Amino acid sequence: MSHERTKAAAFPVDRNDAELIGDAHPPHWRNPEPDGPYNLVVIGAGPAGLTAAREAASLGAKVALVERGLIGGACVNVGCIPSKALIRTSRLYADMRDAEQFGGDTPKNLRVDFQRAMTRMRQIRQRISHADAADAVASGGIDLYFGEARFAGRDTVAVAGKILRFKKALIATGARPNLPSIPGLVEAGYLSNENMFDLVSCPERLLVIGGGPLGCEAAQAFCLLGAKVVLAQREPMFLPGEERDAAQILSDALAREGVEVRLNTEVVAVRTKDGKKFADMVRDDETTTVAVDEILTGIGRSANVDGLDLELAGVAYDTAGIKVDDHLRTTNDLIYAAGDVCLEHKFTHTAEASARIVVRNALFRGRKKLSELVVPWCTYTDPEIAHVGLYPAEARKNAIPVKTYTILMHDVARAVMDGEEEGFVKIHVKEGSDRILGATVVASHAGEMINAVSLAIASGMGLSALADVIHPFPTQAAGIKMAADAYRQARLTPLRKRLSDRWLAWSRR
Amino acid sequence: MPRVEPAALSDDDLLERYQRAAFGYFLETVNPQNGLVADTSRPNSPASIAVVGFALSCYPIGVERGWMTRGAAAKLTIAALRFFWTSPQGSGDEVTGHKGFYYHFLDMRTGLRVWRCELSMVDTALLIAGVLVAGAYFSQDTKEEAEIRELSEALYRRVDWRWAQGSSPTLRQGWKPKSGFLHYGWEGYNEATILYVLSMASPDSPTSDDSYAGWTATYQWENIYGYDVLYGGPLFMHQFSHAWLDLDGIRDAFMREKGSDYFENSRRSTYLHREYARRNPYGFEGYGENLWGLSAGDGPGGFRTSVERRRHRFSGYAARGAPFGPDDGTIAPWSYPASLPFAPDICVSALRHMGDRYPEVIDNFRLPSGFNPTLANRRKFGRHGWVSEGHYGLDQGIVVMMIENHRSRLIWDLMRSNQHIRRGLQKAGFSGGWLEQPAASSKGGRDVA
């Protein structure tokens, strides 16, 4: 087993983890007895499954929720929550290191206490997980079953020896990290998001493979926590798909922190010798080798479709996951899917939003569409990189002329005060109008700032109207309004200016 | 000889001195046997094919300015064209190029690939642009000049531009024998306009008609600091293709949509760089009204250090850009003459400021690739900070050409008369302005020397 060849301990690592298990998969849980058909059987108690089950139950539906592992899914246990908790500690160390920049003193002999950082992360994870404890779920009127779910037919699911009949079902089994295909990596042992939070000591030298969101966040956090990090990315830029300038700023930030950035670089083989892992990396036609203590992969996730007997239910799937239409219905019209198991954008918030669509469509004959969702996303590096809507290249591909209003964070007063002036706000509008097509924000709190643009897009508000929204001063989110002000300014054509000048001159008479 | 005080010179005299000093680089570093020109003036520098392209473009300027004879210029030109025509091509080792393209860096003596460098599409384009300048300029009815014209046409026609598209509409950036095409794409506007124009106009192996549109689809039109610009971070992106192409008043589909043109865009981008330096968000030493200009060029080296309690990462040779970075306080002073045609007032003003405030950086009117006053008296650096050692051919070439375009439009006029250039621009969708007028005859007939 590859994980045993890493420095990660076995889960549960400490008392916090044991308590988390007590909440999220109580050892002595007794599954309920099914009593007639359910309105909705939900398979998987991650963000999508929990959201759907709760919403359906609150509307009076008879709901069963089936979970084989821990309630909360990847997000709370091995995803967003532990990673962002750890990132907070890494930012603390960055701030202590840079204390002089903020008018303070850097502590002498600044030493990273990795164990303390991990313990805090486990405490937070346990605390947040507690809100979704098994008892709390059951007390919300949901029949909670622990066990492996298998479809036994078009309208039945078997779990732990019980047969659940349903009118509608939701598959929300999530996704897991891809098994890496790099020769020797499995044998050498590697970290993924599933076991990296079980580390008890910080790897001295860490190779991160993949410069997507997970890879970039982890590389920066581990670097700030004291690891010597090499980040290898196959593509010419990090976060492929994001805007070039965003990726550029991130690349600079990573390098400035001390991450060894290797772009256009593919890891082709891994081997072990004397307890060290050696990774061969190819850039163009040159091969180099790095020796590290641990290797973390952040390349891709695969849908959890195995073992569900989807064929018996007539539910089609492929390597991208369960096939759904725009209403999230599978090839069995009684069965829907939501979250990572079927979506391209594998985020907690899209999982939850898609689950709400399913409740509406499955139980109330709704016609809500996935494609109508306005989905922002954010990579939690420092600076953060958040996006919503279309990218300029996408707009241009669809023959939509696009113009971008850009505000540099170094022109946002609060960002200067906070010493967080790296980044920008870019709002893309359809040329000649104020229709907002999309936005990218690169800033220390981009994830918070993007919400104003998401709201504007979702409510059909134009950029001009956004300029009238008063923002408290000083805030970093004022950068959004400043972009709207720039739009207003640019609309002041010479003709309008002349007319205005003439009117004001006349008024002075 | 008494030292000339730049402050005492008129603008014209000042520009003449900078231009001539830059021109001198080519005569000092050329290998007359094969016409190859060194990438830098540092010992053991290999040749850069792009620098040869600049050199071939600068010789006619040298002739017109009276800095070399027409015969000497023709001789160096023929040496280079014969070398590229006869040097080995192929997919194996021990060659100079492949498919009519050339490796980025070549041994100054043997002309073979060095440093396991890439077969470079854009650098080949800069070389070929220089080759076409030679073909347009040397128009006299002599055996020598006829050979220049023949070789010029043959070298251009031999380039297999279609091959360089790989399986995509856009051209690949490079190719290596073992790994094939480099997978770096072109994203966003940059210096490659000349590459697309040349590749689309090729009579024998043009790129597909969608190649230029494939590239411009990635353009981003932005309002930054109040300027509407087609963004390209480093200034050289707004200069290199413009050294050959007069893009003033002609527009492609993108610029028609935006109601602007690429010349105007370079002007605004120059002002944008100045505006960035005025704001100086990272507190670099000296930045301001008259010290600006981030570009591709030499740098102080790869290290991290704090300056005035702020963490910075410094780089060696790199593309620096404004306003999104990277920026490590390294200024490329050759940006001023290189942007001269677009924004003469602020460029001359900055050039004068350089001479007044940082005379130690300038070597007898020759500008270095970069200098970094923020590093003054820090680490191993002296009181002037870091100054790039020696000179780079690319920088000197663009200085000579853009000062000349500003003064006489010589290169622009030569290229406007070239049918390949006109056809390439038209295939890329450019129209209006001078493209609507019939081609003027080449100026190469003038015999000033």
Residues linked to residue A72 through DSSP beta bridges, in sequence order: none
Using 50, 70 and 90 to split pLDDT, how confident is the model at B184? confident
What whole-number distance in Å separates Cα of residue B117 and Cα of residue A473?
53
Q: Which of A248, A282, A404 has its CB closest to that of B325?
A: A248
pLDDT tens column, B37-70 = 999 999 999 999 999 999 999 999 999 999 999 9
pLDDT tens column, A76-120 = 999 999 999 999 999 999 999 999 999 999 999 899 999 999 999
Q: Do B233 and A426 touch (CB under 8 A)?
A: no
Q: Check whether A6 has a pLDDT greater than 90.
A: no
Residue A203 near residue A114 (C-beta atoms within 8 A): no
Chain B residues bordering chain A (beta-carbon distance below 8 Å): 116, 118, 176-179, 182-185, 187-188, 217-226, 228, 231, 233, 257-258, 279, 281, 304, 306, 309-313, 321, 323-326
Q: Do B118 and A490 touch (CB under 8 A)?
A: no
- Determine the residue among A235, A237, A245 to mutate to test chain B binding: the one whose Cβ has the most chain B Cβ atoms within 10 Å: A245
User: Given this model, what pLDDT does residue A214 score?
Assistant: 94
Q: Do B324 and A284 touch (CB under 8 A)?
A: no
Q: Which of A264, A393, A421 has its CB closest to that of B184?
A: A264
User: Mean pLDDT, to the nearest integer, of A3-13?
Assistant: 82
| Structure-token match 């270095």, residue found | B368
User: Given this model, what pLDDT does residue B183 score?
Assistant: 77
Q: Check whether B1 has a pLDDT greater than 60.
A: no
- Determine the residue among A259, A282, A396 to mutate to test chain B binding: the one whose Cβ has the most chain B Cβ atoms within 10 Å: A396
B218 CB neighbours in chain A (<8 A) are 393, 396
Helix (H) or strand (E) holding B297: strand B296-297
Share of chain B above pLDDT 90, in %: 90
pLDDT tens column, B406-449 = 999 999 999 999 999 999 999 999 999 999 998 766 554 443 33
User: Given this model, what pLDDT does residue B442 score?
Assistant: 52
User: Given this model, what pLDDT does residue A186 score?
Assistant: 93
Q: Which of A101, A249, A486 has its CB closest to that of B223?
A: A486
Q: Which of B182, B220, B304 has its CB closest to that of A258?
A: B304
Q: Do B222 and A406 touch (CB under 8 A)?
A: yes
Half-sphere exposure of A300 (CA within 13 A, CB side): 10
Closest CA to A360 of A20, A51, A10, A11: A51
What whole-number distance in Å separates Cα of residue B74 and Cα of residue B81?
10
pLDDT tens column, A146-163 = 999 999 999 999 999 999
Q: Do A405 and B222 touch (CB under 8 A)?
A: yes
User: Mean pLDDT, to the nearest integer, of A9-35?
Assistant: 95
Q: Do A98 and B311 touch (CB under 8 A)?
A: yes
Closest CA to A166 of A294, A338, A36: A36
pTM: 0.94
**Touching check for A336 and chain B: CB below 8 Å?**
no
What whole-number distance in Å separates Cα of residue B234 and Cα of residue B297?
10
Q: Which of A101, A392, A489 has its CB closest to that of B220?
A: A392
Using 50, 70 and 90 to split pLDDT, how confident is the model at A495? confident
What whole-number distance in Å separates Cα of residue A110 and Cα of residue A113?
10
User: Per the structure block, which two tokens stand in for B368?
Assistant: 């270095």
User: Given this model, what pLDDT does residue B449 score?
Assistant: 33
Higher pLDDT, A67 or A397: A67
